[in-house]
Amino acid sequence: MKRSVLPTIAHRLAILCYIAFALFPLFWLLKVSVTPNDLLYSEGVRLWPSRTTWDHYAFVLQHSAFPTFFKNSVIVAASTAVVVTICASLSGYALSRFSFRAKYLIVALMLLTQMFPLVMLVAPIFKILSPLGLTNSLTGLVIVYTAFNVPFATFLMQSFFDGIPKDLEEAAMIDGATKFIAFRQIILPLTLPGIAATLGFVFTAAWSELLFALMLINGNSAATFPVGLLTFVSKFSVDFGQMMAAGVMALIPAALFFLLIQRYLVQGLTAGAVKG
């Protein structure tokens, strides 16, 4: 059957508009980061500067603490993502498959933690972490981020486990697997899309978190990249070129990470398991 061309064109145009709208800030980031300082204010509003330069990138890499921020952020975001995903996989599986006393109380408590604005919690958390020597440390940040991300990640993982038919585990157990082997060899491989989604979600959340990083960290040595970006704002001026260059480079790991996991995000691994 031949489909009419017009709706297809309209469809593509709509998508194009959406993409342009969504990506414009990123484009502007890139544009400013390659604009030489002398052209930044002199050329007016242009889509692309008449002359481009990599100077900002070079400066940020060589003369700022950006590499430290970057390293700190990678450590914090990756550790948080891994720790949260492990916790959430186990707790999500438990919520999905087992019935136990106080299950609904636990679910209610986890939901409750999601209801408070984080700002309210900054002071008490500082109070808790400070005597433990966990302020101004990456470990402290990882602990705080993990605590805040586990509830939502648990619900996310639970919904993925719910989507895997119980028959599969039962078949594995009858085939001779223990509950844990069935979990590891049958359920976990099928939850890869869910694990990828959770990893990605938590990684980005931790990567871009500003509030706690700002409150719990002082000085450059343990600062993460969102805090570090603020160092480009000085009392008298904002160095936009360098700030944007740092911003572009900060996007790279997140983009790489999603490139890595997108295969699992889009793949429906459970297709064909049961009649459907």
Partner 1 sequence: MASIQIEKLEKSYGHVSVLHGVDLDIADGEFIVLVGPSGCGKSTLLRMIAGLEDVSSGEIRIAGNRVNDLHPKDRDIAMVFQSYALYPHMTVAQNMSYSLRLRNIAKDTIGSAVAAAASKLGLDPLLERRPKALSGGQRQRVAMGRAIVRQPKAFLFDEPLSNLDARLREQMRAEIKKMHGDLKATSIYVTHDQIEAMTLADRIVAMHGGVVQQIGSPLELYDRPANLFVAGFIGSPGMNFLAATYAGGSVRLADGTLVALETVPALADGESVTLGIRPEHVVIANDGSGMRAAVELVEPTGFGIILHLSLHGLPFKIFTLDREALNSGKEIGVRFPAQYLHLFGTDEQRIA
By C-beta, is 255 or 271 nearer to partner 1?
271
Tell me if 275 contacts partner 1 by CB under 8 A. yes
By C-beta, is 142 or 182 nearer to partner 1?
182
Q: Is the separation of the CB atoms in 199 and 261 below 8 Å?
A: yes
Angle between helices 66-97 and 240-266 (to 10 degrees): 30
At closest approach, how far in Å is the CB of 275 from partner 1? 4
By C-beta, is 61 or 171 nearer to partner 1?
171
Tell me if 264 contacts partner 1 by CB under 8 A. no
Q: Identify residues 3-62 at the interface with partner 1 (CB under 8 A).
A: none
Tell me if 165 contacts partner 1 by CB under 8 A. yes
d(CA 106, CA 92): 12
Tell me if 117 contacts partner 1 by CB under 8 A. no
Nearest C-alpha neighbor of 204 from the set 74, 117, 92: 74
Q: Which residues, in sequence order, are bridge partners of residue 127? A: none
By C-beta, is 38 or 170 nearer to partner 1?
170
By C-beta, is 182 or 222 nearer to partner 1?
182
At closest approach, how far in Å is the CB of 189 from partner 1? 5
Tell me if 269 contacts partner 1 by CB under 8 A. yes
Q: Identify residues 203-262 at the interface with partner 1 (CB under 8 A).
A: none
Task: Compose the 166-205 pattern: x for residues touching partner 1 by CB under 8 A, - for all others.
Answer: -xx-xxxxxxxxx--x----x--xx---------------
The site for partner 1 (CB under 8 A) is made up of 165, 167-168, 170-178, 181, 186, 189-190, 269-275
